């Protein structure tokens, strides 16, 4: 993990915005910049003549910080890590200090200001500098890309194992539990979010939680899950069908079955079109539109009720947003999801999601496990 390179890029961005000091208190940002994985930390980055980074944490993390932190000096704060960090920034000679409003509560900002006042710092010391680290995090370096490949590969193999195990008559919750148990046994540190297992009409809710509901023959099942491996999240969705085997389709199920198959074909085409639209320089809007225009042409504009995708990395949702109207351009090294879907409340739902690594000429699909129509 090249934290020194990341800190150097951050100080370049700070100089470009005339911000001589930056307080970083969002833990995933701290981890990205220093390698520190503890649950209490505040990092001060200086970009002026005394350029450097100092991490403040508490006594529980003395040994861990020593082991993990690279590129920053460590200070164990006897009281509040945040208050000491603010006092340090105020005494550093910096005229002002950036902070990220999107990760700062009103109470925290009051504590930060009070710490600066007590340290004799100027009023108005803290100036908003939102998303500076998030922007860096959006473009993965080769070390991060490798970790994300490994997390995605494990995700695919867990899915394959589950497909061989699943059958009609199981409860959604048991499927989620089995998946999560297997994930932990296989080395996952955690799930990246609460596993979504949605059968039949429950699939009509984009973010259905796994319940006691039983998977029936004739149902589609949406499985959306991810694991955390070496700190990095994976994210994948597959929708599969529980068919009738050799038996006939019951007459009252025929219409829904046919409609589900048709809808699946359209979502798959939309998902593939968006994957094909990914390349360095493409706008997020263009990738979203590649999927949306196909679903719109099929009459399902309203049923595709969310954006096409999102960045993923140390957090399950991070920049960029792959959504309508997002004019920001994809850069090589970004990892984004492509996950269009259609949702018919009370009837069924379909979503197909891959995580892809943006390259100069296209993308590398990190989750290349079977995504076409599949009947169990």
Tell me which residues touch Zn ion (CB under 5 A).
224, 235, 237, 337, 353
The nearer residue to Zn ion, 84 or 235, going by C-beta atoms, is 235
For residue 335, the minimal CB distance to Zn ion (Å) is 11
Question: With respect to Zn ion, which residue has the nearer C-beta, 153 or 168?
Answer: 153
CA–CA separation, 24 and 82 (whole Å): 10
Nearest to Zn ion of 43, 176 (CB atom):
176
| 180/235 with CB nearer Zn ion | 235
Least distance in Å: CB of 152 to Zn ion? 12
Question: Which CB, 74 or 233, lies closer to Zn ion?
Answer: 233
Residue closer to Zn ion (CB basis): 125 or 159: 159
Of residues 32, 35, 25, the one with CA closest to residue 10: 32
Q: C-beta of 337: minimal distance to Zn ion in Å?
A: 4
| Residue 139 near residue 280 (C-beta atoms within 8 A) | no
Torsion of CA 188, 232, 31, 176, to 10 degrees: -50
Closest approach of Zn ion to the CB of residue 64, in Å = 31
Q: How many CA atoms lie within 13 Å of 35's alpha carbon, on the beta-carbon side?
A: 17
The CB-side HSE value for 143 (13 A sphere, CA atoms) comes to 11
Pick 129 or 162: Cβ nearer Zn ion: 162
Question: CB 181: neighbour CB atoms within 10 A?
Answer: 10
What torsion do the CA atoms of 294, 298, 304, 310 make, to the nearest 10 degrees? -10
The DSSP bridge pattern shows strands 236-241 and 309-311 to be: unpaired
CB of 237 to Zn ion, least distance (A): 5
- b/e map of 188-210 (b: 16 or more CB within 10 Å)? beebbbebbbbbbbbbbebebeb
Nearest distance from C-beta of residue 233 to Zn ion, angstroms: 9
* Measured CA angle at 46 (ends 23, 78), to 5 deg: 55
Minimum Å gap between C-beta 224 and Zn ion is 4
The sign of the torsion formed by the CA atoms of 180, 186, 190, 196 equals negative
Place of tokens 């980074």: 53
């Amino acid at each position: 993990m090249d934290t020194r390179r990341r800190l150097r890029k951050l100080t370049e961005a700070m100089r470009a915005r005339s911000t001589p000091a930056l307080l970083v208190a969002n833990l995933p940002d701290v981890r990205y910049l220093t390698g520190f994985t503890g649950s209490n930390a505040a990092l001060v980055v200086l970009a002026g003549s005394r350029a450097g980074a100092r991490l403040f944490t508490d006594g529980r993390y003395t040994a861990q910080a020593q082991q993990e932190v690279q590129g920053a000096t460590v200070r164990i704060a006897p009281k509040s890590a945040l208050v000491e960090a603010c006092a340090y920034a105020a005494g550093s000679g910096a005229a002002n200090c950036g902070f990220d409003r999107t990760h700062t509560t009103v109470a925290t900002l009051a504590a930060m200001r009070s710490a600066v006042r007590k340290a004799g710092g100027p009023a108005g010391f803290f100036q908003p500098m939102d998303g500076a680290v998030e922007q860096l995090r959006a473009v993965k370096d080769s070390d991060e890309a490798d970790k994300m490949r490994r997390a995605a590969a494990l995700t695919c193999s867990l899915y394959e194992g589950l497909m061989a195990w699943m059958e009609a008559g199981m409860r959604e919750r048991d499927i989620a539990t089995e998946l999560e148990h297997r994930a932990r046994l296989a080395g996952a540190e955690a799930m990246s979010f609460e596993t979504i297992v949605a059968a039949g009409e429950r699939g009509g809710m984009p973010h259905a939680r796994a319940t006691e509901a039983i998977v029936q023959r004739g149902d589609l099942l949406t499985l959306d899950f991810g694991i955390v491996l070496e700190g990095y999240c994976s994210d994948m969705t597959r929708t599969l069908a529980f068919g009738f085997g050799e038996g006939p389709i019951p007459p009252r199920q025929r219409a829904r079955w046919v409609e589900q198959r048709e809808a699946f074909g359209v979502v798959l085409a939309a998902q593939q079109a968006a994957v094909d639209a990914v390349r360095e320089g493409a706008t997020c809007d263009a990738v979203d539109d590649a999927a949306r225009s196909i679903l719109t042409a099929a009459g399902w504009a309203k049923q595709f009720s969310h954006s096409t995708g999102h960045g993923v990395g140390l957090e399950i949702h991070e920049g960029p947003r792959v959504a309508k109207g997002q004019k920001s351009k994809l850069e090589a090294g970004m990892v984004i999801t492509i996950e269009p879907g259609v949702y018919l409340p009370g009837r069924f739902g379909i979503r197909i999601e891959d995580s892809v690594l943006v390259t100069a000429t296209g993308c590398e699909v990190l989750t290349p496990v079977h995504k076409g129509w599949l009947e169990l």
